Chain A
Amino acid sequence: MKRRKFDVAAVPAKSAGALDDRFQAATPLRKVLNKVFPDHWSFLLGEIALFSFIVLVLTGVFLTFFFEPAMTEVVYDGSYAPLRGTPMSAAYASSLDLSFDVRGGLVMRQMHHWAALLFMASIVVHMLRVFFTGAFRKPRETNWIIGSLLFWVGFLAGFTGYSLPDDGLSGTGLRIASGIMLSIPVIGSWVTSSIFGGEFPGTIIISRFFIAHVLLIPGLLVALISAHLGLVFKQKHTQWPGPGRTNENVVGERFFPRYVLKQGGFFMVVFGVIALFGGLFQINPIWYFGPYEAWVVSAASQPDWYVMFLDGSTRLMPAWQIDIPIGDGYVIPPLFWPTVVLPGILVGLSLMYPFLEARRLKDHRHHNLLQRPRDVPARTAAGAMALAFFIVLTLSGGNDVIADKFHISLNAMTWAGRVGILILPPLAYYFTHRICLGLQQHDREVLAHGVETGIIKRLPDGRFVEVHQPLSAAEGHDGHAPALDYVGWVVPKKMNRLGALGPAIRGFFYPIEKPAEAPVSPGHPPVEPRPEREEIGSGESRR
């Protein structure tokens, strides 16, 4: 019998064939491989959140091997001398051990905490991008809702994690959280004692927070993130308007190989930046805070930045207590409004926004093209207003640090915040609105008259005029170049962008498509010269 020669080269093809026999993978695989993603820097912001979540899971798993979620009282006997002999909870002692007695534990702890801050920060930045470009409109309202929920679930994840070490600072935060729960009318005291298992602080809250922090909340996050990504995949990414881009297509790169390589590389960069942060910048030095003791506090007690806006709203709240004179008398404390009602309103507003806007504009079409912020002044201004609101509150959350370091009276800071929260958001709305209109106007001017060249010409009658370079080459019927349509995309404003000199810095700050892309092959324009676009500018700009 002839021995068949074993053909190594044929192995991959053969095994691939065997796989397809069983799983019929070839057709779906082709569909996954053939997936076009539009390329723009701002589309990568959400990825920062995704990647920091992966880092959070990796470092978090490491931490669970050493952390002991118990409030049993122990006496510290680790290597950090300034706390030796101090009675503390097992949770705090094991956090100290993670920092001082587990080799490399501190860098992991710090990376975990920095990754949490980065996770929340990139969620917010990504959310702003989505908001200001109108990417939340139909058909993507569901994904906007999921994204908003991700912020609030991330908020909970952050708060529970921040509380786990049971140090002086986080214990103070937990004390405030219990006060917030207490302030809820009617059921407040029942909610608090049920969560804390009795009177604050009880002996069980750390274990409960632990299971929430390592199982329930991450599980929820994973589910929400999967749904979020799945929907992006299913509904395909939005894209900026531009030559060849319509509401019905996606212009970009195929998923493989370039796009995936870029994603993989970017993950490593995010991971690397978190590692640098974890090593170079100290975060949450719990060994200075000491164990949580109900009578110990520090000046400048703040929560992490994403909770600071609630701390700020609490600080700015006037002492308005509502007494209800029924029976023995009941109270709604001032703490209730800025910490329970305000977040409730914020959650509601953020979830409802896509529907509110669609209702106001009576706009029920599909939108796959993004809008530049300037083209929707009302939305952009509303966003700026919300941002101003958030920033004033966040700064007020650190107003004692600002007061101390810049030698401003603390009381003046509080009053500045109270006045600022009323005045700055409307101002932000007004100015943003005007700026948007101005930018739009300038774009229209350039489209109508051309680019300013900087060349001043003297006319025979003695007037000086600046020469404008029209954008379209064709001569119109009256000898002028015809005005171009406003399409809501970048208009060249400088001569060198027109090709006279070429961009000053190549590749940086520019989207992949230049306004005028050279045709792929002579005689065959790659796309229709002026494709039909459904959304040209905004409803308002076309009035």
Chain B
Amino acid sequence: MSTHTEHQAPQGREPLDVNDPRLSRFDIVQEGARRDDIEIVHYEQQVVPGTKAERRLARTIALFFLLTGAAATAFLVIYIWWPWQWEPGRGGDKWYTPLLGVTLGIALLGIGFGILTWGKKLLAKEVSIQDRHDQPSSAEDRRIAGETMLFLADEMGIRRRPLLGVSLVAGLLPVGAVVAAPLIGGLITNPHKNNQMFTTGFKPQDGKKIRLIREDGRPIRPADVSVGGQLTVFPGIDGGVSNRHADSPTLLIHLREDDAQKSRAANAREGHGDYMWGNFAAFSKICTHAGCPASLYEQQTNRLLCPCHQSQFLITDNAKPVFGPASRRLPQLPIEVDEEGFFVAKSDYTETIGPDFWERP
């Protein structure tokens, strides 16, 4: 095989006879390329066969492949024998995943770089030029295709027999709808079933007011929340502490005396004069912006921050949004203490919980 190819004039050449015994294999390859409009203009071995350089390269590549073998074996050994089950503290199991990743990574990189070195350093360099032939089809071909399609339409005779076309469309449209109907009809769900978007778990059941409970189900006495403290509370109903009532989690806050006064005054302005009980106020934990739990309560500034989009609500001003993208205040839950000394919700929330939507009144 020659390191340099003899250049033939690309245009107007005669095809070679590939059965000519004088042709080398490369000549045939080149001839095949030419038939696909490829001219191999430069073909050069990078290493001379039998030289030191070639042997060195072959050794490097072999080394890469052997490295892969070693790493893959290590992977298997670690996979089988390394202690892998979780245990507290810094056990050996903490190294299991890293070791698997490293051995697998090395094994794959070994093959990768082996192949790459082979392809890049050991194979002949070449420069080939191929014609693109991305001109549009000839005008004649275009015309033939166009006429054929028009002829097809003629054969169908839709223009002459309009009834067929109309009835076909009229027949197919309902079929399309039939295909879509089960999917859409099956998925579609009324969002206003049981008025669910406007009620929460705190809605009194059978005239009985709902208790505020903790995450472990215990009801809450006023003494349970320290001044400057907050507690996440739930409706004391079946499944109240679960995602079934994802709109019900509420933040019960015990305000300081002076903050509570401000808060009461703000409540009164809104006609929510009796929503607080003592210095306790309860606000929905579900952000009115996108529904994250807005629960980063700053007890000195009385701001409530939502960690998702940084809306900030001022608790002492009816939880009005004071910064960020939220446009609506957090609804307040009217609370009181029942005869047994536990917090109850006087009624359900009087405003809609959670992210805003079109038909919220």
A positions within 8 Å CB-CB of B: 30-31, 33-36, 73, 79-81, 100-101, 103-104, 106-107, 110-111, 139, 172, 175-176, 178-180, 182-190, 192-201, 235-236, 244, 247-254, 257-258, 261-262, 264-269, 271-273, 275-280, 292-301, 311, 314-321, 328-335, 338, 366, 368, 399-400, 410-411, 414, 512-513, 517, 520-521, 524, 526-527
Contacts and interface: CB of A to CB of B under 8 A. Distances in A.
B342 interface: no
A521 B7 contact: yes
B291 A186 contact: no
Contacts of B310: 315, 399-400, 410-411, 414
A521 B4 contact: yes
Contacts, number: 321
Nearest to B115: A265
A520 B292 contact: no
B188 A190 contact: yes
Given A294-B249, A414-B323, A179 B289 contact: yes
Interface-centre pick from B96, B111, B123, B358 (highest chain A CB count, 10 A): B358
Interface in B244-296: 245-247, 249, 285-286, 289-293, 295-296
Given A321-B328, A321-B356, A34 B33 contact: yes
Nearest to A182: B357
26 contacts: A31-B36, A80-B86, A111-B101, A179-B354, A179-B355, A183-B356, A184-B358, A198-B189, A250-B132, A252-B127, A254-B40, A257-B119, A258-B124, A261-B119, A269-B112, A269-B116, A272-B110, A279-B98, A292-B243, A294-B246, A315-B325, A321-B356, A330-B359, A333-B328, A517-B42, A526-B41
A34 B36 CA distance: 7
B118 A261 contact: yes
B189 A188 contact: no
Contacts of B129: 36, 244, 249-251, 527
B115 A400 contact: no
Interface string B64-95: 00000000000000010000111010000000
A319 B327 contact: yes
A35 B359 CA distance: 60
Interface-centre pick from A179, A187, A330, A512 (highest chain B CB count, 10 A): A179
B22 interface: no
A198 B308 contact: no
Given A103-B79, A249-B131, A298 B5 contact: no
Nearest to A328: B361
A440 to B, nearest CB: 28
A333 B356 contact: yes
Interface string B343-361: 0000000000011111111
B109 interface: yes
Contact of A276 (B96, B102, B192): B102
Contacts of B325: 314-319, 334-335, 338
Interface residues of B, number: 99
A106 B98 CA distance: 10
A279 B101 CA distance: 4
B187 interface: yes
Contacts of B126: 253-254, 258
A107 B193 CA distance: 44
Contacts of A257: 119, 123
Nearest to B325: A317
A292 to B, nearest CB: 7
Contacts of A33: 32
B357 A253 contact: no
A198 B247 CA distance: 13
A230 to B, nearest CB: 15
Contacts of B187: 194-195, 197
Contacts of B111: 265, 268
Contacts of A201: 243, 246
Contact of A301 (B110, B308, B327, B355): B308
B42 A526 contact: yes
Contact of B290 (A196, A299, A335): A335
B98 to A, nearest CB: 5
